[in-house]
Amino acid sequence: MKLLNFFLAIIFVFCFTIGNSSEKKNELKNKISKNIRCLICQGQSVYDSQSDFAISVKLLIEQKLDKGLTEDEIYKFLKNQYGQWIVYDPEFNKNTVILWILPILLFLIGGAIIIKKLIIKK
Q: Which of residues 13-52 bind other proteins (CB under 8 A)?
A: 39-40, 52
Binds other proteins by CB under 8 A, chosen from 1, 81, 104, 119: 81
Binds other proteins by CB under 8 A, chosen from 53, 88, 92, 100: 53
Minimum distance of other proteins from residue 9's CB (angstroms)? 39
Which region holds residue 39: left if phi is over 0, alpha if psi is between -120 and 50, else beta? Answer: alpha
Which region holds residue 72: left if phi is over 0, alpha if psi is between -120 and 50, else beta? Answer: alpha
Contact in structure between 74 and 61 (CB atoms under 8 Å): yes
Q: Which stretch binds other proteins (CB under 8 A): 7-15, 16-24, 57-65, 97-105?
A: 57-65
- Smallest CA-to-CA distance from 111 within 122, 119, 99 is with 119
Q: Which is nearer to other proteins, 94 or 122 (CB)?
A: 94
Binding site for other proteins (CB under 8 A): 39-40, 52-53, 55-57, 59-60, 63, 79-85
